[in-house]
Amino acid sequence: MEHPMTSPSNSAIFYSILFFLPIVLFLFRRQFSRKLNLPPGPTPWPFIGNLNLIGPLPHVSMHSLAQKYGPLIHLKFGLSPVVVGSSAEVAELLLKTHDISFASRPALLAGKYTTYNYSGMATAPYGPYWRQARKICLMELLKAIVKETMRLHPVAPLLLPRVSRDDCRVAGYDILRNTRVVVNVWAIGRDPTMWEKPNEFRPHRFIGKNIDVKGHDFQLLPFGSGRRMCPGYGLGLKVVQSTLANLLHGFEWKLPGDMKSEDLDMDDRFGLTMPRKIPLLIVPSKPRLSHHLYSCE
Ligand code: HEM
């Protein structure tokens, strides 16, 4: 006797179902989506959606599609729906008017593996975890800690050397053309006429004070000031603040063994930039977040 699946008529039926089922489902979904009045866009293919229209420069492909279908279009990347805004008006609607509706991030594999299971602020889904991470990032105290560290241990203690372009007179003294000019911000940061107890690490001194590191407050100049001031100060500050925020947010830290904070050697090593003389060794003692955030599985 022939096995049911091997008879020619049965396998024909089986393969027809396999072939037509996705098409039927696909048509059904389109019918359903028509009622929803989705934004315009090209008709998606089963399984691949509109991925066939996206080239190696996705922003350029989407730009062409927007020129054809309008500034708000609906696409399918595989089975996932994607809406693309391509005008200032639509950007305002998506990012401002409906900000709260679009405030989460998709769970992409890139976020899973590059930021330890979406635990980075940029990839975390909208919710209490993200709110907490953002709060820590913006925390006034965190900024105060960074300012206090840059006061006592500026990355470039003498800034970058300058040279005088002309003879000039400064505070009554003559300075000749081609003189090298160095500003010792390390010394300014420890000037007792500027800072109370200048050698103590006291981040609270900045709380409620308007002292910034952007080159306007001359008692604190880790990025220099004036025309040759560091153009990367915004990025530099953000990198330092967010790295510190992530470290403090993720773990409780302790010194190795019985070491106490008074035992730390805080001396610097001189150079164009000024690292610690003895590298800091600290141990994460306790995770502060839910256990699953530390695994990549
Ligand atoms: C915490 C991080 C950083 C610190 C502490 C820092 C500090 C400084 C300092 C003290 C100067 C000399 C300013 C002066 O002579 O008045 C400088 C210059 C400069 N920095 Fe930075 N910097 C940082 C990050 C960055 C980043 C992220 C970039 C680039 C993206 C950058 C690019 C530059 C450039 C190009 C100059 C020379 C500017 C000029 O001569 O006109 N810096 N930086």
Q: pLDDT by residue (tens digit) across 150-182?
A: 999 999 999 999 999 999 999 999 999 999 999
Q: How confident is the model at residue 112 (pLDDT cuts 50, 70, 90)?
A: low
pTM: 0.66
Residue having the nearest C-alpha atom to atom 37 of ligand 1: 230
pLDDT at 33 over 60: no
Cβ-contact 270, 157 below 8 angstroms? yes
pLDDT at 140 over 90: no
CA of 68 to the centre of ligand 1 (A): 45
CA of 175 to the centre of ligand 1 (A): 25
How big is the CA angle at 32 (ends 28 and 34), to the nearest 5 degrees?
120
Q: What angle do helix axes 128-138 and 233-250 make, rounded to 10 degrees?
A: 130
Q: How confident is the model at residue 60 (pLDDT cuts 50, 70, 90)?
A: very high
Which atom, in ligand 1's list, is nearest to the CA of 162? 15
Q: Domain-by-domain residue ranges, the chain?
A: 4-111, 139-294
Is 230 annotated to bind a ligand? Reply is: yes
Q: How many helices (H) and strands (E) does the chain have?
A: 8, 8
Binding site membership of 53 for ligand 1 (Cβ less than 6 Å): no
Q: How confident is the model at residue 138 (pLDDT cuts 50, 70, 90)?
A: confident
Cβ-contact 277, 269 below 8 angstroms? yes
Binding site membership of 287 for ligand 1 (Cβ less than 6 Å): no
How big is the CA angle at 51 (ends 47 and 52), to the nearest 5 degrees?
100
Q: Which residue has the tokens 């967010």?
A: 242
- Burial tier of 145 (Cβ tally within 10 Å: 0-12, 13-18, 19+): buried
Burial 79-110 (b: 16+ CB within 10 A, else e): eeebebbbeeebeebbeeeeeeeeeebeeeee
Fold for the domain defined by 139-294: Cytochrome p450 (1.10.630)
pLDDT, averaged across the chain: 86
Q: Give the bridge partners for 286, in sequence order.
A: 252
pLDDT at 222 over 80: yes
Provide CB contacts within 8 A for 183, sequence distance 6+. Answer: 158, 159, 162, 221, 224
CA of 232 to the centre of ligand 1 (A): 6
